[in-house]
Amino acid sequence: MGIGTIIVLGVLLVVVVYAVMLYNNLVQVKHNVSKAWANIDVLLKQRHDELPKLVETCKQYMKFEQETLTKVMEARSKVFTAREQQNIAALGPAEGALRATLGNLFALAEAYPDLKTNQTFQQLQTRISGLENAIADRREFYNESVNINNVRIEQFPDSIVAGMFNFKPAQLLEFTAEEKADVDVGRLFKS
């Protein structure tokens, strides 16, 4: 074997090893997106399971607020459907609607002193609020994972390997401007 052949084989080996490393890194980034979604999914499921308990507790006290309770359950259903279908585009608006209806529910609870002091209601409110905070944290982590994935599959030379192995961009979990606006707390207490 001549020196030229050894150099060509060495360069070819370096290119193959580099391509394998790129591929493995892209696989890891793709799976980080899946893992981030799974973390959100678990929290959404936990909240989905807690909301009927909250509504049932409220029903005992809020006999005249059936419309609000119905809206909470409808919003819960939309989040569940989007989560089950892994429809990221539908999940953002559904989450926004659920947060708004829960805000209304908690604000209305202020008018029911017996409900406010009910230990089950307090525990559920605390649990759901904690889940909301955890979901918000996980959404941030998910979007960061998606961003890393999308940037990697567009960057050169990663884009060559990503194109060869059909890596796809992931969708960010986005919210409308209305859903990101500050909550008018005064309005909540008037409803």
Q: Would you state the pLDDT for residue 57?
A: 84
- Answer whether residue 6 shows pLDDT above 50: yes
| CA contacts within 13 A on the Cβ side of 172 | 10
- Answer whether residue 181 shows pLDDT above 70: no
Which range of residues forms the domain containing residue 103?
3-190
Global pTM?
Answer: 0.75
CA distance linking residue 37 with residue 40, whole number of Å: 5
Residue 114: which of 190, 51, 62 has the closest Cα? 62
Residue 157: which of 19, 32, 5 has the closest Cα? 19
- Answer whether residue 188 shows pLDDT above 80: no
- Answer whether residue 68 shows pLDDT above 70: yes
Instruction: Identify the CATH number of the domain in which residue 180 sits.
Output: 1.20.1440.20
- Answer whether residue 64 shows pLDDT above 90: no
What is the end-to-end Cα distance of the chain in Å, rounded? 85
pLDDT in tens, 147-158: 999 999 999 999
pLDDT in tens, 70-107: 888 999 999 999 989 988 888 888 988 898 888 888 88
CA distance linking residue 55 with residue 105, whole number of Å: 9
Q: Would you state the pLDDT for residue 183?
A: 47
Give the count of domains, the chain. 1
- Answer whether residue 178 shows pLDDT above 70: no
What φ, ψ does residue 120 adopt, rounded to 5°? -65, -45
Q: What stretch of H or E contains 123?
A: helix 119-154
Burial-class residue 51 by CB neighbours within 10 Å (0-12, 13-18, 19+): buried
DSSP H helices in the chain: 3-59, 66-84, 88-109, 113-117, 119-154, 158-164, 177-180, 185-190
Q: Would you state the pLDDT for residue 174?
A: 78
Are 101 and 71 in contact, with CB atoms under 8 Å apart? yes
Q: Would you state the pLDDT for residue 185?
A: 45
- According to DSSP, residue 63 is labeled T
